[in-house]
Each structure stands twice: as C-alpha cells, then as structure tokens.
Amino acid sequence: MTELNHAPLLIDVAGIELTPADRRRLANPHVGGVIHFTRNWQDRAQMTALNAEIKAIRPDLLICVDHEGGRVQRFRTDGFTRLPSMRSLGELWMRDALRATQVATAAGQVLAGELRACGVDFSFAPVLDLDYGGSSVIGDRSFHRDPRVVALLAKSVMHGMLQMGMRNCGKHFPGHGFVQADSHVEIPVDKRSLKAILADDARPYDWLAGTLAAVMPAHVIYPKVDKRPAGFSEKWLKDILRQRFAFDGVVFSDDLSMEAGRYIDGELLSYADAVLAALAAGCDLALLCNQSIGEGRPLDEMLDGFTAAAANGRWQGDAASEARRRSLLPGDGALDWQALTASTRYVQAQRLLAGAQSRKGRTGS
C-alpha cells in the first residue's frame, strides 16, 4: 500500500444537508471528493453549513461544483453574481482584446471568491472547447472559434481564480466543440485525424499544459486515434496529454453516469467497471454524479464494487495520483462573505463585470 490513502472517487450528495447515507459514503476511504448541483443549494448559509459538515467527516475531501458562468452556474441567488457566458468574453475580445482579458480575470476572481466564501474548494472551469457553432451542449460555454483567443481568455480566467486561491480545470480534452451530439444522451464521434485535432482543438491544452491544474477529457470517440472515448483512452491521456504535452496535473473523468460515460468497445459497463476503466486509462479521479438521489442504490453498488476490486487486486492505489488530488485543495485564507464583498479586489472585479455588461447592452452585441 502507499503511504497516502488513494481516494479516486468523486460522488454527490442527495440534498441541502447530509443524510446518514451521505455520511456513510463520504467516510468511505476511496471517496476523495464531492460535486454539488443546484439541488444542493438553498442559500449561502445553508451551503456553508453543508460544506462544513462534509469537511468534519474528512478535511481532505475536495468539494467541487460545475460553476463556469453563463448557463452553467449552479448558484445564482442570495448575492451570487450572474457571471457572463464565455462566448460574451470572446465577443468582447473582438471589440477590445485588452478589456476582454481584464474582464475575464475579474470573472475568475468573482467566481472563485464567491465559491470559496461558501466553503467550495474547486470549480470545473474553464471550458477550452472551440466554438464551431453547431454544438448545443457546448454553445456559448466556449470563448471562441480561434484556439489562440480561447487559450488567452482561459488563462485570464484561471489567473483570476488563482488569485482567490482556487485551481482550475480545462475541459473537455482534446475538444468537444466540433461534434454536434450531446454526450449526456448519446455517444459523439469525431472522425477527424489526429493531425487536424492537434492543430486546432487540442492547441489550448498544449499551450496551457504548464498552467492547467486539472483536465477533464471528453466523452467523445475519435476513431482515427482510438476506438475508445478519450476518457478511457491511454493514447489520449498517457501518450498525448501526459507525454506529448507534458501535462503533470490532475485528470478527472467526466461524469460516468452520462450516456457516453461507460461505453467501451460497444459494451455498456457497470458503474464500478467504468470507474476502473477510467482510472486504468490514466484518470486520477472518476466522477459518478446524480446517483445519490432516492435510495442511492447505484452509488452504493459502485462503491461496493470498487471496494471489492481493490481488495482482489483489480485496482491499486497510486501515491502520485493521490498527491495530485490533494494539490487541488486550497490553502487557508478564504474570505468569508462579508470580508470578500468588502475587499478591494472583489469590488474592482465587480465593477469590471458590470461595466462590460453595460457596454454590451449599449452596443446590442
């Protein structure tokens, strides 16, 4: 066994406070974190209390959320700022590139500052997919069609997040923007060559490899590279991301409950087997979302199956992978809400965001 207990599973909880089943699952030594959804939100006081409950079970649990801005923002009330879509930042870039980087940095500061003030450690942002105009699932979550604009605006958002003590996650490697299918409900297939993908969609990952703290692969099959989706592909995760791009941060699987999340070679895997396959391909952490609702039987079956696999040698912990997970935990120093909203950095960031929204309204763009 490794010195550090390797905890590669990221799960969700059922509601706005922990149930006995939630507490039991979070105490499982293989669970390394929690992902929140809108159903877990009531207000800031409740979210702060919920996260304190989670940390009381294990302080090293990584508390995460999908909170990008635009239409993917889980918390929108009780003082939370409505963050701009990433596409709006790309549109601003076309009018005033310098202003766009300033506003992007401000968006990262507000995003991370508000989340950390409520006890959230980490957000799965920013999106690095290119905007080809045909993907309904990506759409305005993308900054731009040009990978250079995407990389520069993403770096600004990431800088703002880091200033507030939060790491980042680029997604969905090597690119989800070209395919029109929604991987939540079907399996997208991108038939382009490796050369074409590396020259375009994957460029932001190459350019930002030394800056990205984490990467999430796409639930997309690129058959000219590998018959397996990127999140289950050693070619994409180990050969290209780790070796070719020299990325040394955390690799998350995307949600393994999604329709494309557990098909390998045409076979629908159990949740436990999908987790094992993602980890074997090179993921450090595997996500299983929205399975705690009701009795949570699928989540318990996954946890039991994974525990059995670990006991019989089908999975072994890895100290380097666990160290990468822990690297995403923020240090001390998060401001509470009152201190945050009084801080000069936050006030200036809010002013920049408000100014950008006001200019957008006047120009009608």
Told to judge if 129 belongs to the known catalytic residues of this protein, a careful annotator would answer no
Helix, strand counts (H, E) of the chain: 13, 14
Pairing, β 214-217 against β 250-255: parallel
172 annotated as a binding-site residue: yes
171 annotated as a binding-site residue: yes
Catalytic residue among 146, 184, 206, 318: 184
Tell me the three state secondary structure of residue 144.
coil
Tokens 């999140």 — which residue? 231
Q: Which residues pair with 264 in a beta bridge?
A: 267
CA Rg value for the chain: 20
131 annotated as a binding-site residue: no
Catalytic residue among 12, 22, 190, 254: 254
Told to judge if 226 belongs to the known catalytic residues of this protein, a careful annotator would answer no
Q: How is residue 6 annotated by DSSP?
A: P
Task: Go through the chain and tell me how many residues it has.
Answer: 365
Token couple for 302: 């996954």
CB-based contacts of 205, cutoff 8 Å, min separation 6: 128, 170, 173, 174, 212, 215, 241, 245, 247
Token couple for 215: 């990467």
30 annotated as a binding-site residue: no
Query: In the chain, what are the helix, strand and coil shares in percent, each to the nearest 5?
Result: 45, 15, 40
Token couple for 39: 């159903």
Q: How many whole angstroms separate alpha carbon 34 and alpha carbon 356?
A: 33
Query: Which residues are marked as active site?
Result: 184, 254
Known binding-site residue numbers: 66, 74, 141, 171-172
Known binding-site residue numbers for substrate: 66, 74, 141, 171-172
